[in-house]
Amino acid sequence: MSKSQYKRVLLKMSGEVLMGENQFGLDPKTVNRVAEDIKQVVDGGTEVCVVVGAGNIFRGVSGAAAGMDRTTADYMGMLGIVINALALQNALENIDVQTRVMSAIPMSAICEPYIRRKAMRHMQKGRVVIFAAGTGNPYFTTDTAAALRASEMNCDAMLKGTKVDGVYNADPAKDPTATRYDRLTYMDVLTRDLKVMDATAISLARENDIPILVFSIKDAGNFDRALKGEGPYTLVTNG
């Protein structure tokens, strides 16, 4: 049986993944299925930490576009992330996966504050650490939070679980001739403005030499398959 190529990874998921087929909010069936995917990887011996977004609850950028103060909108998004993190923690603990939620914005009654060394200890003990509230700062995306935490945790890879199985040269939902890239460099992503992650996140991953795997988390088992080098995905590295 093939083995994961990585010892410690960060999984980045958009909030939209957790809403399943719904238009907003959380779909318990999807949350449970994602939890099963994470358990499969943890049981295989890989240390996992997670960063989720909040697009299923509130998108800071959309709030700002609708006339809301950008910083307020971003803080509302960060609170949305905490809701998603608690839902995922609950689903993981229901299937006996030990987890700790650590928030970049301290809210001690709900979860632990983010302390890097404490997070490291949790990971060494095989617990799944869910990083909540992004970086704790407005103007930074959850992709950037993911690249930051992956760097701080010395992760061997960052996996971006999306609704499509990699990065395409056009939108595969609109263009049937769109083709998927197997491999890209960080520079390709930056110079061609490919929508993998925002430029801040890509730069951080590049500086810290953390490979990014973009894969579809829509189907069960894909997280594990991607870590074993199986299944379709796009790998972004220094080349």
List of residues contacting ligand GTP (CB under 6 A): 100, 108-113, 121, 125
Cα–Cα distance, 212 to 231 (Å, whole number): 15
Q: Which of residues 116 and 121 has its CB atom nearest to ligand GTP in the complex? A: 121
Q: Which of residues 64 and 120 has its CB atom nearest to ligand GTP in the complex? A: 120
Nearest-approach distance from CB 113 to ligand GTP, in angstroms: 6
Q: Which of residues 52 and 167 has its CB atom nearest to ligand GTP in the complex? A: 52
- From the list 81, 62, 218, 71, the residue with the least C-alpha distance to 149 is 81
- What's the 3-state SS for 57-110? CCCHHHHHHCCCCHHHHHHHHHHHHHHHHHHHHHHHHHCCCCEEEEECCCCCCC
Contact 27, 20 (CB under 8 A): yes
Handedness of CA 109, 113, 117, 122 (dihedral sign): positive
Nearest-approach distance from CB 105 to ligand GTP, in angstroms: 12
Nearest-approach distance from CB 195 to ligand GTP, in angstroms: 35
Nearest-approach distance from CB 110 to ligand GTP, in angstroms: 6
Nearest-approach distance from CB 48 to ligand GTP, in angstroms: 16
Q: Which of residues 111 and 201 has its CB atom nearest to ligand GTP in the complex? A: 111
Q: Which of residues 65 and 110 has its CB atom nearest to ligand GTP in the complex? A: 110
